[in-house]
Structure 1
Amino acid sequence: MKVKDVITVIEEQLAPIALAADWDSPGLKTGSKNLEISKILVCLDVTNAVIAEAVRKGCNLIISHHPVIFHAISAVTDDKEPVVCNAIRNGIAIYAAHTNLDFADGGINDALAEAVGLSSVKKDISGEHRYGKLSGLVPLEEFISDLKEKLAVPFLSVIVPKTCEQDFLIEKVGISCGAFDEETDWIYTHKIDLLLTGEIKHSDAVWLSEEKFITIGAGHYFTEICGVRKLTQSLVAHRLPAELSEASQAPFTFL
């Protein structure tokens, strides 16, 4: 089994490359497509700790969600790109499935919807978001408590506009994993009560506070790790020697 064979499985079945956003940079980041694979380590972000784990476990292919190389770079040196250099020194290929995995059927957004417990999950017209229903009308405070437990997240950023009361009942939830993309038309089109996303810029939070739906930011890591876990399971189901990284953790310490 070579790297190119794994790429074929991902790009043709699990996260079609055509789904990636125009601005995105998925694909092979280091290494050769002809590299014979020993084992695969799957992670959200590639760090030196993840590379050390790969070396320790005998993995020579890392599949990440976030691209370790995103923007154009002028040099690959220890001081400018230490993680990339570390991977190259250790003969590790790195492949990224980013927004194509976010939007794919069974991808990150679908995994998040499943983790939250939504039913009748559908795509919006762009295919970039999901929405579905809870089992019934749920008070906001109860939804927040359940969400923290389901996503194992220590805190949530909650935006409750003045048009929504604290005892507001939630039934239809919109899903947009990772960073909030500033798109809201689909939320009104599908009469969504609450948008669940990862991270929200302050300027976006200000205008979201004037909208007619509640927004929750559960953290970039916590809205996407469930999808990375599901990707690992899908690779294993395709009889690929993949395992989820233990070293890939949320970069924040919550005090």
Structure 2
Amino acid sequence: MKVKEIVSEILNKFGGVKFEETCDKLMSGSYDTEVTGVVTTFMATVDVIREAINKGANFIITHEPTYYTGIDSIEWVKDDPVYIEKKKLIDKHGIAIWRFHDHMHAAPFDLIYAGLIKEIVWEDYLIKGLQFPHCYEIPEMSLRELSWFFKEKLDMKVIQIVGSPDTKCKRVGILVGGGSLGLGVEEMPMKLMKEQNLDVMVCGDITEWTLCPYVRDAASLGMNKAMLVLGHERSEEAGMKYMAKWLFPMLNGVPVHFIDAKEPFNYL
């Protein structure tokens, strides 16, 4: 199969919105490339690219940018040695890289959330009847226990919390990636907590003057509120892991591998 055939299969599978303006574009290679193997990943880092090469895969499907800005603009970085060396590696091995972001989130059931809730086995806890899969009702546990749960399920060494570790958590919000920044509406996460009476918000990215102080103030006022921060990558990577599973049967035997881009931070 060629890159363009695989892309077409993916975009037609879920019957979601089709965007004319989108960041879901081919960032390297050709749509006519004959695919030897596919890699799905959160981000096509140099380490991921090297692992793809070792697996004999020449088509990487990445959820996030390859060249460091939201729209993968390269005008500003053409003379940068980091870009130059990364592009050399990609071109030397004939790697095609396609971004699957906007359409992935716009599927009838957001495919990133689908992967995450499969990974943590929360399908039965989703609160039905809401527009987005943001709210869950789980067996009650403390924030401390919920933190341990996510550390184990998502292979995390460190997790940030706001609020008391003893906060009782039953109604849980999840806003993956940049969703916890409000998606252009800063007050959205706070309004969601209030309207859905959420005990805890599980976040991807954070801004320290929005949801963070809202929860901190609520806890200081004696309210049963808390926040747990996974980070962008850990909150979304499972969606790309899940993608490898649903993509493989569509590709007539073309190998499909998931490569974990891994959390970007080391902790001292």
Q: Say whether the fold is shared (TM-score over 0.5).
A: yes
1:140 matched to 2:140: no
Moved more, 58-67 or 187-196: 187-196
Aligned residues: 246
Give the letter for the 1:195 counterpart. M
Q: Is the 8 A contact 2:234 2:262 kept in 1?
A: no
CA 93–123 in structure 1, closer or farther in 2 if over 3 Å, else same:
farther
Aligned partner of 1:222 in structure 2 is 234
Structure 1 168/51 Cα, relative in aligned 2: closer, same or farther at 3 Å?
closer
Runs (5+) with no aligned partner, structure 1: none
Match of 2:213 in 1: 206
Which sits farther off after the overlay, 98-107 or 55-64?
A: 98-107
Q: 2:162 aligns with which of 159, 162, 186?
A: 159
Aligned twin of 2:116: 112
CA 48–123 in structure 1, closer or farther in 2 if over 3 Å, else same: farther
Distance in 1 between residues matched to 2:166 and 2:172, nearest whole Å = 16
Secondary structure of residue in 1 paired with 2:12:
helix
Cα distance in structure 2, aligned partners of 1:124 and 1:227: 22
Q: Which residue of 2 aligns with 1:6?
A: 6
Maintained 8 Å contact 2:167/2:226: no
Q: State the TM-score, normalized to the length of structure 2.
A: 0.79
- 2:259 aligned to which of 245, 248, 251: 245
One-letter code of the match for 1:234? W
2:199–2:226 contact (8 Å) kept in structure 1: yes
Q: Is the 8 A contact 1:123 1:130 kept in 2?
A: no
Structure 1 residue 126: deviation in Å? 5.5
Question: Which residue number corresponds to residue 81 of structure 2?
Answer: 79
2: CA distance, partners of 1:169 / 1:66: 34
Question: For the residues of structure 2 that align with 1:16 and 1:226, how far apart are their CA atoms?
Answer: 20
**Displacement of 1:48:** 2.0
- The letter of the residue matching 1:72 is S
Distance (Å, rounded) in 1 between the aligned partners of 2:237 and 2:217: 30
- Cα distance 1:167–1:53, how it changes in 2: closer, same or farther (>3 A)? closer
Contact 2:27 2:98 in 1 (8 A): yes
Task: Quote the residue 2:185 is aligned against.
Answer: none
Q: Secondary structure at the match of 2:241?
A: helix
Structure 2: which 5+ residue stretches go unaligned?
183-187
Work out whether 1:176 is the aligned partner of 2:175: yes
Task: Decide whether the 8 Å contact of 1:11 with 1:17 is kept in 2.
Answer: no
Runs of 4+ in 1 over 6 A off after TM superposition: none
The alpha carbon displacement at 1:144 in A equals 1.9
- Separation in 1, partners of 2:72, 2:60: 19
Percent identity among equivalent residues? 22
Indicate if the aligned counterparts of 2:115 and 2:238 stay in contact, CA closer than 8 A: yes
Q: Kindly indicate which of the two structures has a greater share of residues assigned to strand.
A: 1
Structure 1 stretch displaced more, 6-15 or 72-81: 72-81
Go from structure 1 to structure 2 and tell me whether the alpha carbon gap of 1:122 and 1:61 turns closer, same or farther (over 3 Å shift): farther
Relative to structure 1, the CA distance from residue 96 to residue 153 in structure 2 (aligned partners, 3 Å threshold; closer, same or farther) is: same
Secondary structure at the aligned position of 1:203 is classed as: coil
The residue matched to 1:243 in structure 2 has which SS?
Answer: strand
1:88 has 2:102 as partner: no
Moved more, 80-89 or 26-35: 80-89
Please give the alpha-carbon distance, in whole angstroms, between the structure 2 residues aligned to 1:229 and 1:147.
16
Describe the shift of the 1:115–1:59 C-alpha distance in structure 2 as closer, same or farther (beyond 3 A).
Answer: closer
Give distance in 1, aligned partners of 2:130 and 2:25. 26
Distance 1:17 1:188 in 2: 30
